Structure 1
Amino acid sequence: MYFDFCCPYCYLAQGYLTRMREGTPLEVEWVPWEIAPETPPGGTRRPWRGLDRLRGMGEPVDRPFADLAFTPHTREALQAVEHAKPSGRADALVERLFRGFFAEGRDLGDRKTLLRLAEEAGMERVGLGEALDRGTHLPTLVANDRRAEEELHLEVVPSFLRGGRLLLAGSTTLTFPEFREAFPRLLP
């Protein structure tokens, strides 16, 4: 799944996937794709529109929304996911960071907040901090961006692929029942 932490529909899709994975052997590869690289390091302050609709969509899968008034800069949060993959902590980190921002209103662009949330997801703060300082995973983000735009011609997140083939893109209007109906296409 190509995703970004600033996308409420990615948060919903992650909740939908979590619900669908209950009792179903399904592996999800999280592919971080920074969809708003122009967002300044301190984030963008603006009230979110459509929160009532999003809350309604998230309720069946326990995806609450705080009263959001900003959009975070997500580059380091996306790098953290790449850092979490070798240790098998990516699922836990994605869950914690999505909830941290959308449910709790925490700023994922703030390094201290990011490291605290990553630690809560079972990651080591020091190792992640060092990787972020070095920009260890920036080349992967650049490669993900290039592949998404130039090879796959993706335009939106969340986008679901299997075997390099696009299965579902921009499920921004799908409710959980609609997603569940489309879900068999995502299974191997």
Structure 2
Amino acid sequence: MTGMQIDIFSDPICPWCFIGKKRLDAARALRPGLDLKIRWRAFQLNPDMPAGGMDRQTYLNVKFGGPDRAQELYGQIARVGQEVGIPFDFAGIPRTPNTLSAHRLIRFAQQPEQGKADALVEALFDAYFLENRDIGDRETLLELAQVAGLDLGAAAEILDQDAYAEEIRAEDAYARRMGIGGVPCFIVNGKYALSGAQEPESFLPLFDMAVQEARETEPQSSG
């Protein structure tokens, strides 16, 4: 079984990131022998979002110039979502949050003693896109931390102490310096990048290249 790491630059309010996660899961099912480690990396679609978020309609007006263009774009995303089993409810979202605290909680969940980042990311996607919850709200984040199996007291301490905030901001800036202008972006073994929510089959050549490289660098037995 070959070890492999995928760094995923993502934002929990990015619908294409939700789709990308589902497609990565499907790709993993096509290569069941991989020992794949996922590392979630921070990217904020709206780094200048007010800390308390923004009314959804106001956000759509600012971001897209009004509801018509937004409806066109989200309609396309919703159709793709149906293909991967995501019943997006864009119309029901009341508020667009600042995602800094969500990213901080993901970073905490990714610590070795927690190991719950994948579960938390899935919970955040579900809460925002399917349940229309405000994932910038502290109490909502704590409920999702509990759903993901995190230590609730420790999660509350992380949120209340602003832990990882500078680390998240620095990582977001690093992603932009690397040329990442949108997410999701998947980087395999620090070498091979795949941008966007590509079909599952698009991951397979990257998986195969990483496997081949690992085999070529393995020490040969003398027999």
TM-score (norm 2): 0.74
Instruction: Note if 1:167 corresponds to 2:193.
Output: yes
The alpha carbon displacement at 1:16 in A equals 1.3
Q: Which has the higher contact order (CA 8 A, sep 6+)?
A: 2
1:74-115, Cα deviation, whole Å (9 max, x unpaired): 110011110001211001001111111011111101110111
AA in 2 matched with 1:7: C
Q: For residue 45 of structure 1, what is the aligned residue in structure 2? A: 55
Aligned equivalents of 1:136 and 1:70: distance in 2?
24
Q: How far 1:131 sits from its partner (Å)?
A: 1.1
- Tell me which moved more, 75-84 or 47-56: 47-56
1:115 alignment counterpart:
142
SS at match of 1:27: strand
2:104 paired with 1:97 = no
In structure 2, give the amino acid aligned to 1:64. Answer: P
2:101 matched residue in structure 1 = 76
Structure 2: gaps (5+ residues)? 1-7, 58-69, 211-223
* CA radius of gyration, larger in: 2
Identical aligned pairs, as a percentage?
Answer: 33
- Once the two structures are superposed, residues 49-84 of structure 1 have per-residue CA deviations (whole angstroms, 9 ceiling, x without a partner) of 333322221123222211234321111001111000
- Mapping for residues 24-35 of structure 1, pairs under 5 Å: 24=32, 25=34, 26-35=36-45
Runs of 4+ in 1 over 4 A off after TM superposition: none
1:62 is matched with which residue? 85
**RMSD (Å), alpha carbons:** 1.9
TM-score (norm 1): 0.87
Q: 2:201 aligns with which of 167, 174, 181?
A: 181
